[in-house]
Structures are given as structure tokens and as C-alpha cells.
Amino acid sequence: MLNETIITNAIIDRYFEKLRNATDLDVAIIGGGPSGLVAGYYISKAGKKAALFEKKLSIGGGLWGGGMMFNEIVLQDSILPIIEEFELKVQEYKKGYYVANSIDVVATLIKKAISAGLNIFNLINVEDLIFKKNRVAGIVINWSPVNMANLHIDPLSFYSKYVIDATGHAAEIVTILSRKMGVKLNTETGQIIGEKSMDATQGETQTVENTKEVYPGLFVSGMAANAVLGGYRMGPIFGGMFLSGKKVAEQILEKLKQVNCGIEIIKNHRR
């Protein structure tokens, strides 16, 4: 006979174990779209402590709907190595163009990221940032339903060495930083430039080019990168998103490596 209390305790104990483990991170990824999931996969695969926070119930961002609710997406041949690593099922449509079932892609990305060690929290809204010594030092979270109901309930704070804004077109995290702290960003204007209209070629290229640290401790990836740095929109072709996620992971892993090397140098010097 099943015991309802045991079922409840199992859920509570396991969830709070995960949540407690995420209060001090190497990387906090905000947004569960393709760039966030790919970044989480590579960072976790490298053995770093990462967690992804998504405000919606489902993970996957705009991937689910494909193009105008036709649940197919296009990937280009520049990401064939990533397609192979993630074992994505694709079909060549024309030379250089591959189509994939968007639902299968989302499911595969989520599975691969979790298997690599990424903790994913859905229904979590990041409403603010921890800001110390002119640097982003973590995130301030609350339940998404609290935000939706406009309830006045204080949030909780999680430290993170680096934060990735992977929130898509809205660039929600950089917007919070810019609005509340009035800082100068690493953009041409020092502010959020805004996303341009659609040009698939430029949009795909700029999604990768614009992936960078826009303020100490805060990186942008995917469409958030183009929104912040003024890149073009690209539509339902997702190669740039995947490459952006991999690039931001590589950038942060290099930063973490430098920090760890610095700590080792200090330790050795003290000896």
C-alpha cells in the first residue's frame, strides 16, 4: 500500500537537496532555451557547478513551436559537430540546410544537459541580481506564480561566480542590471542597443559574435546577445543559438580556469 506522506516527503527532500546545492554556484544560467541548455551542458560536462533557472513551466524556449507552430526547425552545416555530439536526428533538406523535429531537439537537449550534471529549476523567476564591488555576484529568485500574482513576498538570494542571460529577445537580466544600477555595459553605446529586424545571415553570425561578458560577472548568449548588442533577428534557424551556448560556456570555463590558477599561485607562494 502506498503512503501519501512518504510520497510528499520524497519530493520535498529531493527538491530541497537540489535547491540547497544551488545556493553557491560557478554559473547560474537564466533561461532554458537552446543557448542556455547548450551552455549548461558544456559547463556541467567540464565538472563545474551550474544550474539553469526557467520562469516558465516548460524548458526549451522558442524551440517548441518551430516556425509559426510548425514544429520543425532548421540547422545549418556549420554546427554539424554539435549535431553529432548531441546525437540530434536531422535530415538534409538542401545542401547546407538540415531540418529537425523541434520537440525531439528540445527533449534531447534537456536529457543531455541533465545527464551532464546540470540542475534545472522551472517556475523560478529571477527578479534581481546580487551586486557587490561593481560586479554581478549572483541572482535573486522567487516563484514565478508569486511574480504573476503580484504578491509582495521577499525572494531568496543565490551566489554565483558568473551569470548568463539566456532569456531571449527580452534580455531580462541585463535589463534589470541596466535599469537598477545604471551601469555602463560593454556595448557600443554603453546601454542595451536593442534587436534589429530579420536578416537570417547576419542574425546567425551576430548571435555568436555578440556572445560575451557585457558587465563583470554577467554574460549574454542567444537572442539576448543580439538584443543587448544590436544584432539582427534570424527566425527559426537555430545553429547560431547552439554555437552561442557553446561559446559562452568556453568563455566562462576559461575565466574559471584563470581564477583557479590564480588561487593555486597564491597558495604555492604562501608555502
Interacting residues of 137 by C-beta distance below 8 A, sequence separation 6+: 129, 130, 131, 159, 160, 217
As a whole number of Å, the end-to-end CA separation of the chain is 61
Give the Å distances, CA to CA, from 270 to 226, 256, 258: 45, 21, 18
* pTM of the shown model: 0.95
pLDDT of residue 259: 73
pLDDT of residue 262: 57
* Residue 263 Ramachandran class (φ > 0 left, ψ -120 to 50 alpha, else beta): alpha
DSSP, residue by residue, the chain? ---HHHHHHHHHHHHHHHHHHTSEEEEEEE--SHHHHHHHHHHHHTT--EEEEESSSSSSGGGTTTBTTB-EEEEEGGGHHHHHHHT---EEEETTEEEEEHHHHHHHHHHHHHHTT-EEEESEEEEEEEE-SSSEEEEEEEEHHHHHTT-----EEEEEEEEEE--GGG-HHHHHHHHHH-PPPSSSSSS------B-HHHHHHHHHHT-EEEETTEEE-THHHHHHHTPPB--SB-HHHHHHHHHHHHHHHHHHHHHHHHHHHHHHHH-
Instruction: Give pLDDT < 50 ranges for the chain.
Output: 265-271
d(CA 133, CA 130): 10
